Amino acid sequence: MTAQSLLRQAALYLTFGAAVSVLFSIAVSQSLMALALAALLASGEKLRLPPIKLPLGLFLALTVVSLALSEQPSAGRPQLRKFFVFVILLLVFSLLREPVLLRRLVIAWAVLAALSAAAGAAQFVAKYRQAAALGADFYEYYVAERITGFMSHWMTFGGQMMLVLLVVAAYALFGSPSRRAAGLALACCTIIFASIVLGFTRGIWLATGVAGLYLIWHWRRWAVLLAPVLAAAVLIAGPAALRDRVASALRPRGEIDSNQHRVVSWRTGWRMIRAHPWFGLGPEHVKLQFERFVPEDVPRPLPKGWYGHLHNIYLHYAAERGVPALLALLWLLGKMFLDFTRAARRAPPALQVFLRGGAAAVLAILVEGVFELNLGDTEVLTLFLAIAAAGYVAVDAALTRLPPDTATAG
């Protein structure tokens, strides 16, 4: 084996590790990404990017312009460093070219996510016991500090569990797995789904439900009718606090349920956009200038909540980087969704996993993005981009009509 072949093989394994390790450590994931990139460049292997270069390049370029025009350019440097995350697109699309490798990646995601979900379930039980020992109302005690699995925040945990659940569900529904693989996928999906339910994050619930219905619709349309039955069964079997959380969307319990501070954030973001529609305030400047744009009729002190971003990808990116940057991002996500759904019409079952799963992931990001800045979370963004890159590998395979034995390997 030549030195170039060894370097390519090393880059492949490092890329696989980077895509998987993001479920438990962003530091490990990015270290492996850096090593994979170095090995790939040294190997002389052809560098490939998915056919999203124009919208992606436009979004990144407008981010740089926004930063340059901002009041404090140095404050936005973390967003420039985050550009490195997009290297996962290059790595996965250049190296994980065989569907069999992507199927193994899905299984690895399923197992690690299930372990993280199990850790989250254990955390839920511990918090329930803590609340009981303190004589505290469990709902109030828990909503302020929810389960996190292997992550440091419940929103990061929920976002990752959502994306992995959708991809693994696509594998079970469309991938024609063996009985053993199907059993493993089903077990992992059950554990991950339970952690999403126990996460009490309503935006994750809604996004998972919408994207899940997309998958079921393209699998067996009649099965969509079972979704309300499943939802009712979960509510009935779950703890009383779960039903309270569902009801809180319409009847919030004071400031506990985060509804009020989101409304303040959204109104403030709209004022930012009206004042700076073209290039925004600048990366990282939403939190720096938030107080300046809070509407005058909002009473002080502000409702309890996090005001470091706008809890909405549409408002946040428009306010931070300008409306053109937001449109470039929507172009990017929309192109992904259309490319995956179009290719899925002609793809064999082994490729449907990544095409339908990728489309469902995009749909989930768009829905959950109404309530949270999910793409601003490095762990969630890295996982999403890896899924998108896998989807484009499947698009390539579908367009080139791989031989049946290659397309269904593994």
Q: How far apart are CA 85 and CA 378, in angstroms?
A: 7
**What is the reported pLDDT for 176?**
87
> Who's near 133: CB < 8 A, 6+ residues apart?
none
**What is the reported pLDDT for 401?**
61
> Who's near 390: CB < 8 A, 6+ residues apart?
92, 96, 102, 105, 354, 358
Q: How far apart are CA 134 and CA 125, in angstroms?
A: 14
Its pTM surpasses 0.85: yes
* Token pair in block for residue 326: 């937001």
Q: What is residue 243's three-state secondary structure?
A: helix
At 126-155, the pLDDT tens digits run 999 999 999 999 999 999 899 999 999 999
Task: Give the residue ranges of DSSP H helices in 199-322.
Answer: 202-219, 227-237, 240-247, 259-275, 285-288, 290-293, 313-321
Q: How far apart are CA 242 and CA 348, in angstroms?
A: 40
> Who's near 28: CB < 8 A, 6+ residues apart?
17, 21
> Who's near 139: CB < 8 A, 6+ residues apart?
241, 244, 245, 253, 256
Residue 221 carries which side chain, given as an amino acid letter? R
**What is the reported pLDDT for 174?**
94
Q: How far apart are CA 160 and CA 378, in angstroms?
A: 11
Q: How far apart are CA 50 and CA 384, in angstroms?
A: 14
The 3-state secondary structure of 87-140 reads HHHHHHHHHCCCHHHHHHHHHHHHHHHHHHHHHHHHHHHHHHHHHHHHCCCHHH
Q: Which helix (H) or strand (E) holds 169?
A: helix 154-174
- CA 163 to chain CA mean position, Å: 5
> Who's near 143: CB < 8 A, 6+ residues apart?
200, 245, 256, 257
At 343-365, the pLDDT tens digits run 999 888 889 999 999 999 999 99
* Token pair in block for residue 76: 């936005």
**What is the reported pLDDT for 409?**
37
pLDDT by residue, tens only, the chain of 410 residues: 799 999 999 999 999 999 999 999 999 999 999 999 999 999 999 999 999 999 999 999 999 999 999 999 999 999 999 999 999 999 999 999 998 999 999 999 999 999 999 999 999 999 999 999 999 999 999 998 999 999 999 999 999 999 999 999 999 999 989 999 999 999 999 999 999 999 999 999 999 999 999 999 999 999 999 999 999 999 998 888 999 899 888 788 766 767 889 999 999 999 999 999 999 999 999 999 999 999 999 998 999 888 999 999 999 999 999 999 999 999 999 999 999 999 999 888 889 999 999 999 999 999 999 999 999 999 999 999 999 999 999 999 988 764 443 443 33
The CA R_g of the chain, rounded to the nearest whole Å, is 22
